[in-house]
C-alpha cells in the first residue's frame, strides 16, 4: 500500500482557494511560488501534513485543514465592460472589483465571459470545484439570451443545431428557442455544454449572423437571480452548492455561510447591491 501523502503543488494551492489548477500551473511556472525557501517548479509535490512554508509572490499562505473549510459559491451579474482577470494591465474594471473581501481565502471564477458579454458568472472559494466545473468532460449546460441583427432563416437554425466548423473544432447548440422580436431586436435562447472562448458569438458568425447582445442566464440549474442588479452578487445556499459539487463528483458540504430566514423558508439578506445604484426589474 502506498504511503505517499504528497499532492501536486497546484492542487494544494487550488484547495486553499488560490485559483484553478490551470491558473496555478502558470503561476508556478513563472517562479512566483516557493516552498521552504526554494523556488518551486511545475511537477513539485508537497505533504501538507508536514506544515511546509509556502509563499506566493513572497506572501506566506496560511495552511488550513481542508475538512474544516466551508465551500462557498457566489453568483455575480457581470456587466458588459468588465474583464475576467484579477489585474488588468490596461486598467479596465474586473469582475473581482465588486466582490466581498475574504479572510484567508479568495474567490476563483468558474469559467469566463468576454468583455462584451454580461450575465451569470459563478465564483467559489474551492479551487478544486472550480477546476472540475470548467473541465469539458462534465458537459454542464450553459444557457444564453442572444439578440441578433436581421432575420434568421430555418436553414441557419438547422445548421447551428447540426454543427458549424470553427477554427478550434465543430460546435453546435443543444437547444435553440426563438424568444420573439424582429429586425434589430430579435432574441433567441441557446444552450450549449462547452465554454470555449467567444463560442456563442463565433457560432452565429459562422452562419453569417451578427450578435448584438449576449447574456448568460443559466449555468447548470443555477439561474441568474431575478432582481439582482448588474454588478450585484448573491451567495448560493447549501443545496445549490451541493448540487454543483455533485455534478463533478465532490463530497457534499454540511455547513453554509448563508443565513436562512426560517419563517419565510428562504435566504435572508443575501442580495448585496454594493456600489450599484440602479437595479434591474427584469432578468435582462
SS3 at position 245: helix
88 is catalytic: no
Across the chain, how many H-helices and E-strands are there? Answer: 6, 19
Give the integer Cα–Cα distance in Å for 83 and 135: 21
| DSSP of 96-162 | TTTSPP-SS---EEES---TT-EEEEEEES-HHHHHHHHSGGG---EEEEEEESS---HHHHHHHHH
Out of 97, 114, 126, 223, the active site residue is: 114
Beta-bridged to residue 77, according to DSSP, are: 120
For residue 215, how far is the Cα from the chain centroid? Answer: 14
Neighbouring C-alpha atoms within 13 Å toward the C-beta of 206: 23
State the catalytic residues: 114
Amino acid at each position: 500500500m502506498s504511503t505517499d501523502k504528497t499532492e501536486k503543488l497546484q492542487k494544494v494551492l487550488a484547495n486553499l482557494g488560490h485559483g484553478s489548477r490551470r491558473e496555478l500551473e502558470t503561476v508556478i511556472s513563472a517562479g512566483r511560488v516557493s516552498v521552504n525557501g526554494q523556488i518551486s517548479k511545475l511537477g513539485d509535490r508537497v505533504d501538507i501534513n508536514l506544515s511546509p512554508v509556502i509563499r506566493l509572490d513572497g506572501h506566506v499562505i496560511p495552511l488550513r485543514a481542508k475538512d474544516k473549510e466551508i465551500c462557498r459559491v457566489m453568483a455575480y451579474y457581470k456587466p458588459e465592460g468588465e474583464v475576467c482577470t484579477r489585474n488588468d494591465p490596461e486598467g479596465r474594471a474586473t469582475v473581482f472589483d465588486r466582490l466581498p473581501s475574504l479572510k484567508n481565502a479568495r474567490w476563483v471564477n468558474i469559467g469566463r465571459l468576454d468583455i462584451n458579454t454580461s450575465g451569470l458568472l459563478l465564483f467559489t472559494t474551492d479551487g478544486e470545484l472550480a477546476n472540475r466545473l470548467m473541465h469539458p468532460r462534465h458537459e454542464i449546460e450553459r444557457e444564453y439570451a442572444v439578440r441578433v441583427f436581421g432575420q434568421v432563416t430555418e436553414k441557419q437554425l438547422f445548421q447551428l443545431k447540426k454543427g458549424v466548423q470553427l477554427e478550434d473544432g465543430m460546435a453546435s447548440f443543444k437547444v435553440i428557442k426563438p424568444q420573439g422580436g424582429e429586425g434589430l431586436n430579435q432574441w433567441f435562447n441557446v444552450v450549449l455544454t462547452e465554454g470555449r472562448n467567444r463560442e456563442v458569438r463565433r457560432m452565429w458568425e459562422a452562419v453569417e449572423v451578427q450578435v448584438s447582445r449576449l447574456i448568460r442566464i443559466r449555468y447548470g440549474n443555477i439561474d441568474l437571480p431575478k432582481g439582482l442588479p448588474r454588478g450585484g452578487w448573491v451567495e448560493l445556499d447549501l443545496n445549490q452548492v451541493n448540487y454543483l459539487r455533485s455534478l463533478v463528483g465532490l463530497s457534499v458540504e454540511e455547513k453554509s455561510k448563508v443565513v436562512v430566514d426560517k419563517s419565510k423558508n428562504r435566504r435572508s439578506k443575501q442580495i448585496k447591491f454594493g456600489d450599484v445604484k440602479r437595479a434591474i426589474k427584469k432578468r435582462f
